[in-house]
Amino acid sequence: MVQKLTSKNILNFIIHYRKLFIKVLPLTFVATYFATFLIAKQYKSTSVIFAARHFSTSKLLIEQNVGNQEDYMQLGDGDDVEKVIQILNTDELKLEVAKRLNLRQRWNLKDTTFALHFLKLKWEEMISIKRTDFNAIKVEAYDYTANNAAQLANTIVSYIDTVRFKMYKEVADKALKIVSNELIHTEAMIKELDDSLQALREIGVLDYKKEVEAYSKAYAKVLGSGNSKNELEIEKKLNVLKKYGGNYLSIEENLKKYRFKYPILKAKYDEALVNSIATLPIKFVVEHAIPNEYKAKPSRVIISSIITASTFIALLLYLLFTSKPNNLFKKDGE
């Protein structure tokens, strides 16, 4: 006949071996508790930040749309918070902070082919990035001294803008180069067209439209007066205008186009230059990390309790599999 295992059977089984459990479990707790003194103490420091709105520096500060600029003092929305968190989790930021604080030596990490792998594993153990209920970001850093923990948290926060600027700079530099080349080309064309107009002025074409109108009226009057000398002079002038007038109008139109284009390009160049060399912070620091001399890890009681509970379960399973069935299915009072 197959007997079912019930919680009552297990309880009776534990009572049957109570002397063994009473000996082993307290000893395990005490031994584990004292063993935790061999674990290096870790201290925790916390920095809290709000995300700022993410816009280019030029748009916020020098764009000419008066009244339409975004407020660079405004707190960021949910998307801005997610962007800052993503930057905080990048390998680029980890490497920058590790280099700045020499974390590989501080944390005794192996300098091997897998150095980045070991750094990332240790980073996950020592750093915690959390989004709070108030749409802020909490950066918690652990280290083996209180001062190092505070320094680590503050350095991580400070490098957010460094990583973001490096990320944007590649695009900003390319945009600056494109606008700069176009501005140089426009300046060269304006100079070339100005020189061409100056050459036509030296020939005698000062203002084609006004001169054609003026000389045409003068020529009509001369024809009525019969003054052949003045007639030849005016005809000569009209022939010059006829010969070079088309060139003058074409050059003048192109010059107007490039002169109209120049201030627009100059404004874009100024904006691209600002974006290439400067950036506004994308976070507001609400709380800088300060050293906290009370250790955060290890929690000796919690560790000892977990190991003692694990020992209890392991010992119970061992006894269940190795004991005789009669011991497991004993009735009350046996």
Residue 96 lies in a domain: no
Q: Is residue 64's pLDDT more than 90?
A: no
Helices (H) and strands (E) in the chain, counts: 12, 4
In total, how many domains does the chain have? 2
Give 154-198 pLDDT, tens digit per residue: 999 999 988 888 888 888 889 889 989 999 999 999 898 888 877
Residue with tokens 């001062």: 147
User: Is there a single domain that holds both residue 204 and residue 260?
Assistant: yes
Q: What is the DSSP string of 260-329?
A: HHHHHHHHHHHHHHHHHH----SEEEEE------S--B--HHHHHHHHHHHHHHHHHHHHHHHS-HHHHS
288 and 138 Cβ atoms separated by less than 8 Å: no
276-298 per-position pLDDT tens digit: 887 778 888 999 999 988 887 77
Instruction: Please write the tens of the pLDDT for every residue from 310-329.
Output: 888 888 888 777 776 555 55
User: Is the residue at 19 inside a domain?
Assistant: yes
Provide the token pair at 223.
């024809």
Cα 139 → chain centroid: 16
Q: Which one is predicted more confidently, 231 or 77?
A: 77
For residues 51-65, give the mean pLDDT: 66
Residue 196 falls inside a structural domain: yes
Residue 67 lies in a domain: no
297 vs 32: CA distance, rounded Å: 15
**Letter string b/e over residues 164-184, b meaning 16 or more CB atoms within 10 A of that residue's CB:** bbeebeeebeebbeebbeebe
Residues 256 and 176 placed together within one structural domain of the fold: yes
Q: Does residue 233 fall inside a structural domain?
A: yes
Specify the DSSP class assigned to residue 5: P
* SS3 state of residue 172: helix
Q: Which residue has the higher pLDDT, 3 or 42?
A: 42
Q: Are residues 256 and 311 in the same domain?
A: no
Q: Give the least confident one: 1-10, 59-68, 92-101.
A: 59-68
pLDDT computed for residue 333 by the predictor: 44
Whole-angstrom Cα distance, residue 113 to residue 180? 43
* pLDDT at site 48: 95
Residue 108 lies inside a defined structural domain of this protein: no
- Which pLDDT value is given to residue 194? 82
Answer yes or no: is 136 within a domain. Answer: no
- The reply to whether 200 and 264 lie within a common domain is yes
Instruction: Evaluate whether residue 156 is within a structural domain.
Output: no
Q: What is the mean pLDDT of the chain?
A: 79
What percent of the chain clears pLDDT 70, i.e. is strictly above it?
A: 73
Long-range CB contacts (< 8 A, 24+ apart) of 164-170? 164/87, 164/279, 164/282, 165/279, 166/92, 167/87, 167/92, 168/56, 168/275, 168/279, 169/276
**Burial category of 276 from C-beta neighbours within 10 Å (exposed 0-12, middle 13-18, buried 19 and up):** buried
Q: Are residues 266 and 194 in the same domain?
A: yes
Tokens of 125: 């153990």
For residues 186 and 239, membership in a common domain is answered with yes
Contact 5, 307 (CB under 8 A): no
Here the tokens at position 272 are: 């691209």
Q: Tell me, what DSSP letter sits at residue 62?
A: T
- Could you tell me if 220 and 310 lie in one domain? no
Confidence of residue 75 (pLDDT cuts 50, 70, 90): confident
Contact 276, 173 (CB under 8 A): yes
Domain extent for 222 = 172-277
Please tell me the pTM assigned to this model.
Answer: 0.68
Q: Which pLDDT does position 95 carry in this prediction?
A: 92
